[in-house]
Amino acid sequence: MTARKKVLTVSSANMDFVMSVRRVPEAGETLQDPGTYSFIPGGKGANAAVSFRRLGGDSVFCTRLGNDQNGARLRQIYNAEGIDTRFIATDPQAPTGLAAIMVEPTGQNRIIVFPGANLMICEKDIDAAMLSKPDALFMQMEISHEAVLTAARYASERQVPIFLDAGPADPSFPLSELPPLEVFSPNETETEIFTGIRPSDPDACLRATIALSAKVEAHYYVIKLGGRGCYIYDGKYYHCLPAYDLPVVDTTAAGDAFTSALTLEYLRSGDIERAGKYANIVGSLSVGVRGALPSLPTEAAVERFAAENGIFD
Ligand code: ATP
Ligand code: RIB
């Protein structure tokens, strides 16, 4: 039996205000919509931290919440999920992060994030969280550049492998200041922003990953390709791994589900191709459920799907 892996996530936490709409309004238009709205826990970092637990890992979460109702509610939810919440700080001033999300009937979403307390994560928070002695550091870009670079430096100095999801797209992020990573994982848009190449087919994916490797040093480059699955490049060999054709209700958090699953399964197996297949199952299952946190599948659901479809036979 593989030992349980412990992942430290240094990243964001949000309350998502989710509106299911027939269509999004045009500029200047007021739309009355019979659809539903709800407050659902989300935030890229929180989605990943919860996913690590649901998939059978140990999860330590370093973030900042506001001193408000959303912050208190989210902390309660993370505790109930079994996350180590000792390194979640409460910011005295900034509010808890909020994302306004509109989801159309196709499952396609549009998101605006108000980062609030997420931007206040600082070196002191990261220094404390590193005491948890993680097997890996996982991050996305929904916190300050300085926080990402600081956490990466701390991990690199302690030989902790770093897994970096490049979302949300930010062309001003100084990729060249990062230490060597284990995995760098952009989606299609982020790949195009960092390289100028749209990863529309395997040839373009190869050109894009080669271009990425000139900007950021990583053992593996993993491009998330939505319904087309993912593309993995290690500097020499590549794998194109398909997603699974499952009903699409809401794609929110598919990327977080994918990269957290890739990270955990790679730590467990040391096999990046297997980790890519596992991550595609998790990403594909997640798009079938509305909302961020509720859509993250459990280890049991993933194993059932893999067995029924002979994925690891
Ligand atoms: P998001 O920002 O919506 O959270 P992302 O843009 O970071 O996601 P995607 O490439 O859209 O990431 O999706 C991540 C993974 O989820 C894909 O690699 C794939 O495994 C799965 N996935 C996404 N969309 C679909 C879909 N329509 N059908 C099946 N699987 C999907
Ligand atoms: O990746 C999905 C997440 O992006 C949502 O939960 C929302 O909070 C935004 O951060």
| Domains of the chain in sequence order | 7-13+44-87+118-308 (3.40.1190.20)
- d(CA 301, CA 284) in angstroms, rounded, equals 12
Question: Residue 309: is its pLDDT beyond 70?
Answer: yes
Each residue's pLDDT tens digit, 25-77: 999 999 998 889 999 999 999 999 999 999 999 999 999 999 999 999 999 99
Each residue's pLDDT tens digit, 259-297: 999 999 999 999 999 999 999 999 999 999 999 999 999
Strand, helix or coil at 24?
coil
Q: Which among 103, 96, 70 is positioned nearest to 12, based on CA atoms? A: 96
For residue 184, what are its two tokens?
A: 């760098």
CA of 251 to the centre of ligand 2 (A): 10
Q: Is residue 261 lining ligand 1, measured as CB closer than 6 Å?
A: no
For residue 98, what are its two tokens?
A: 């909020």
Quick one: what percent of the chain has pLDDT higher than 90?
94
Q: Which ligand minimizes its atom distance to the CA of 15? A: 2
Q: Which ligand minimizes its atom distance to the CA of 45? A: 2
Each residue's pLDDT tens digit, 98-156: 999 999 988 888 999 999 999 999 999 999 999 999 999 999 999 999 999 999 999 99
Which residue owns the Cα nearest ligand 1 atom 2?
A: 255
Question: Residue 245: is its pLDDT beyond 90?
Answer: yes
pLDDT of residue 187: 98
* Spacing of C-alpha 252 from chain mean position: 10
- d(CA 193, CA 170) in angstroms, rounded, equals 8
pLDDT of residue 182: 98
Phi then psi for residue 144, to 5 deg, are -70, 155
Can you tell me which residue has the tokens 């271009």? 211
pTM for the full model? Answer: 0.97
For residue 281, the ligand 1 atom closest to its alpha carbon is 20
Computed over every residue of the chain, the mean pLDDT equals 96
Q: Is residue 142 lining ligand 2, measured as CB closer than 6 Å?
A: yes
**Which helix (DSSP H) or strand (DSSP E) does residue 114 occupy?**
strand 109-114
Query: Residue 1: pLDDT band by 50, 70, 90 thresholds?
Result: low
Q: Which among 14, 4, 165 is positioned nearest to 77, based on CA atoms? A: 14
pLDDT of residue 109: 87
Question: Residue 211: is its pLDDT beyond 80?
Answer: yes
Phi then psi for residue 6, to 5 deg, are -110, 120
For residue 216, what are its two tokens?
A: 């950021």
CA of 227 to the centre of ligand 1 (A): 6
- d(CA 242, CA 151) in angstroms, rounded, equals 32
